Amino acid sequence: MLRQDIALEKIVESLKNDQAVQAVFLKGSMGRNEQDEHSDIDLYCLVHKEQEESFLSRRLNHLQAYRNIIFYDDIFIVAPQMIAVFDDMLHIDLFTVTPESFVGKDFIKVLYDPEHLLEEFRDFQGLTLSESEYQDDVTDVAWFLFQYKKSAARGNDIWAVRMLTNVMYHLSRVLLHRYAPERAQLGLKTIEKSLPESIVDELKQIFEHITPSAHRKAALQIKQFVSKELDWIKLHFTQNNQIISLLRKMLN
């Protein structure tokens, strides 16, 4: 049994005894049954809206049902999120959601749902990009190539590298939208598993050159690569022809 499973067994048992908790489920690699011994735990609690604040104050106690915590932080991105690292170096993110704040992206694995409240959210599972998300990623490929051009011209090599990594982040989602749309939200982390081997090899070569001394070669490789994909990108880009014009300008 993986330590992740041992941790979940103890933490979920603690959460079941909290009257504010309506359901407990996983997202991320464990929600998709893709976990390994290195996986983090993305654990979600669905709670009563009127009891949310009181539950937030008890999260640390629930997590400590597994073992001692050496680091934790409390942040808010899409929901209240407690980040914790245990003394065995296992990392967990505990998200707190209500029926009103639930976000349906990614797949879920239900661990506790006595009232079957999660059934209504199953239709929202998935990792595909919406049309607007795809359009945004294409826009950002063009925009960060433009920003790279200015940084490289200034001789600001470190910032130029950052601009190219931004390009590659958004380009990875565009490529997945074409070749593996059911995985597109995962972006760079699934490239090696989800894209054709020939494309992965090209992308690795690009990343080899995204350095302060070699970024100009990487930029040329990116332009050559995107040029080969441009017809498909244009075919599926229906909103803003200005962006395609800018992208084409950056490729020339």
Domain residues for the domain of 67 are 3-124
> Is the Cβ–Cβ distance between 4 and 41 less than 8 Å?
yes
Question: Tens of pLDDT along 182-210?
Answer: 999 999 999 999 999 999 999 999 999 99
Mark whether 44 and 75 lie in a shared domain.
Answer: yes
Structural domain ending residue among the three candidates 124, 146, 180: 124
Among 90, 106, 124, the domain-final residue is 124
Q: How many domains does the chain have?
A: 2
State pLDDT tens for residues 198-243: 999 999 999 999 999 999 999 999 999 999 999 999 988 877 679 9
65 and 13 in a common domain: yes
> For residues 158 and 150, what is the distance between their CA atoms, to the nearest angstrom?
13
Shared-domain flag, residues 41 and 147: no
End position of a domain, from candidates 84, 106, 124 = 124
Residues 120 and 150 in one domain: no
Regions of the chain with pLDDT less than 50: none
User: Tell me, what's the pLDDT at 100?
Assistant: 83
Asked if residue 112 and residue 222 are part of one domain, the reply reads no
74 with 33, same domain? yes
SS3 readout for the chain = CCHHHHHHHHHHHHHHCCCCEEEEEEEHHHHCCCCCCCCCEEEEEEECHHHHHHHHCCHHHHHCCCCCEEEEEEEECCCEEEEEEECCCCEEEEEEECCCCCCCCCCCEEEECCCCHHHHHHHHCCCCCCHHHHHHHHHHHHHHHHHHHHHHHHCCHHHHHHHHHHHHHHHHHHHHHHHCHHHHHHHHHHHHHHCCHHHHHHHHHHHHCCCCCCHHHHHHHHHHHHHHHHHHHHHCCCCCHHHHHHHHHHHC
Specify whether 161 is located in the same domain as 96: no
- The half-sphere exposure of 90 on its side-chain side, counting CA atoms within 13 A, is 21
Identify the pLDDT of residue 103.
74
Q: Are residues 167 and 102 in the same domain?
A: no
Residue 229 and residue 165 share a domain: yes
The answer to whether residues 116 and 141 belong to one domain is no
d(CA 158, CA 94): 35
The alpha carbon torsion through 131, 137, 142, 143 (nearest 10 deg) reads 120
The pair of three-digit structure tokens given for residue 165, joined into one six-digit string: 């990594």
Check residue 167 and give its pLDDT: 99
135 and 119 in a single domain? The answer is: no
Instruction: Supply the pLDDT for residue 202.
Output: 98
- Report in angstroms the alpha-carbon separations of 33 from 9, 55, 105, 223: 16, 28, 16, 36
Residues 64 and 142 in one domain: no
pLDDT given for residue 146 in this prediction = 98
Per-residue pLDDT at 41: 98
